[in-house]
Amino acid sequence: MATKTRKPTHAGAILREDILPELEMSHAELARRLGVSRLTVSELVHEKCALSADMAVRLARLLNTTPESWLAMQQAVDLWALENERGPEYQKIEHVAA
């Protein structure tokens, strides 16, 4: 399993750097519109937590995107982290013949 050198972009970074400034929206306003706490938004935007399926649906509904696009970002981050943390362990797993 090849280790990627660059960490994929976290969904929170997309919100923080691109979406919220473009919409001129505060964390509090985003939280209100999503029906979640400001702390929940803050933790996501500051990349302190993973994006949940629930949050993916909420963001997709609010921003007219798809939950799958948000979840794909999270999946890329999760896989990158695993490959970097457990890569040597995974290398020890032998393939089975079909």
pLDDT tens for the chain, residues 1 to 98: 455 579 999 999 999 999 999 999 999 999 999 999 999 999 999 999 999 999 999 999 999 999 999 999 999 999 999 999 998 998 999 999 88
Domain presence at residue 2: no
Name the residue with tokens 């090849």.
2
CATH of the domain at 34: 1.10.260.40
Residue 80 belongs to domain spanning: 11-91
Domain presence at residue 6: no
| Number of domains comprising the chain | 1
Q: What pTM did the predictor assign? A: 0.88
Domain presence at residue 58: yes
pLDDT of residue 4: 57
What does the H/E/C string look like for 25-80? CCHHHHHHHHCCCHHHHHHHHCCCCCCCHHHHHHHHHHHCCCHHHHHHHHHHHHHH
Domain presence at residue 4: no
pLDDT of residue 67: 98
- Residue 76 burial (CB < 10 Å; 0-12/13-18/19+)? middle
